[in-house]
Amino acid sequence: MNMSLQQSLFEQLDAIVLIDSHSHINPHAPTSSTLADLLGYHYYTELAHSSGMPKNAIEEPGISPREKVARLFQHLGKIDNTIQWSWFVELSQVLFGFQGDEINLSNWETVYDLAESKMQQADWETQVLATSKVEKVFLTNDFDDPLHNFDTGKYVPCLRTDDLVFHLANPKVRERLRASTGHAVATLADLKESLNALFVRFKNRGAKACAISLPPWFCPKSYPDHSAAAQNALDDLNQQGLQATEGSKRTMAEWVFWKIAECAESFKLPFDLMIGVNRQVYPGGVFQGQDLYDSRVSLIQYSELFNAFPNLPFPISVLASVTNQELVDYAWIFPNVLTHGHWWYSNTPNYIRHDLRGRIEAIPRNKQLGYYSDAYKLEFIFPKFRMYKRILAGILAADFCLGQGWSEDKALSLGKQILRGNVEQVFG
Name the one range near its own copies by CB under 8 A: 250-258, 259-267, 344-352, 376-384: 344-352
Determine if 307 is a binding residue for its own copies (CB under 8 A).
Answer: yes
Residue 259 CB, shortest distance to its own copies, in Å, is 22
Which is nearer to its own copies, 157 or 285 (by Cβ)?
Answer: 285
Which is nearer to its own copies, 20 or 291 (by Cβ)?
Answer: 291
Phi then psi for 11, rounded to 5 degrees? Answer: -65, -35
How far CA 293 is from CA of 43, 213, 318, in Å, comes to 16, 12, 11
x/- track of binding to its own copies for residues 356-375 (CB under 8 A) = -xx-xxxxxxxx--------
Residue among 420, 207, 214 at smallest CA distance from 316 = 214
Segment 242 to 281, residues that bind its own copies, using CB under 8 A: 278, 281
Residue 303 CB, shortest distance to its own copies, in Å, is 5
If DSSP codes are grouped into helix, strand and coil, which group holds residue 61?
coil
Residue 313 CB, shortest distance to its own copies, in Å, is 11
Residue 163 CB, shortest distance to its own copies, in Å, is 23
Q: Using CB under 8 A, pick the residue from 132, 141, 181, 321 that binds its own copies.
A: 321
Determine if 49 is a binding residue for its own copies (CB under 8 A).
Answer: yes
How far CA 407 is from CA of 355, 365, 394, in Å, comes to 23, 17, 14
Residue 417 CB, shortest distance to its own copies, in Å, is 9
Which secondary-structure segment (H or E) carries 318?
A: strand 314-318
Question: Three-state SS string across 291-305, please?
Answer: CEECCCCCHHHHHHH
Q: Using CB under 8 A, pick the residue from 17, 240, 350, 428 that binds its own copies.
A: 350
Q: Using CB under 8 A, pick the residue from 70, 290, 408, 416 that binds its own copies.
A: 290
Task: Give DSSP secondary structure letters for 248-311.
Answer: HHHHHHHHHHHHHHHHHHHTT--EEEEE-EETTSSTTSPTT---EE-----GGGGHHHHHH-TT
Which secondary-structure segment (H or E) carries 369?
A: strand 368-369
Question: CA-CA distance, 326 to 328, in Å (whole number)?
Answer: 5
Segment 85 to 144, residues that bind its own copies, using CB under 8 A: 86, 101
Name the one range near its own copies by CB under 8 A: 135-143, 204-212, 221-229, 343-351: 343-351
Which is nearer to its own copies, 115 or 360 (by Cβ)?
Answer: 360
CB of 125 closer than 8 Å to CB of 217: no
Q: Using CB under 8 A, pick the residue from 24, 66, 78, 178 that binds its own copies.
A: 78
Segment 157 to 196, residues that bind its own copies, using CB under 8 A: none
Which is nearer to its own copies, 81 or 99 (by Cβ)?
Answer: 81
Which is nearer to its own copies, 65 or 215 (by Cβ)?
Answer: 215
Q: Using CB under 8 A, pick the residue from 16, 57, 63, 83 that binds its own copies.
A: 83
Residue among 83, 84, 116 at smallest CA distance from 98 = 116
Contacts of 25 (CB under 8 A, 6+ apart): 137, 139, 155, 375, 376, 377, 378
Q: Using CB under 8 A, pick the residue from 414, 419, 423, 426 that binds its own copies.
A: 414
Report the interhelical angle of 83-96 vs 108-119 (nearest 10°).
Answer: 50
Residue 171 CB, shortest distance to its own copies, in Å, is 28
DSSP state of 141: B
Please work out the total of residues on this chain that contact its own copies, with binding judged by CB under 8 A: 74
Q: Using CB under 8 A, pick the residue from 31, 161, 317, 346 that binds its own copies.
A: 346
Which is nearer to its own copies, 257 or 334 (by Cβ)?
Answer: 334
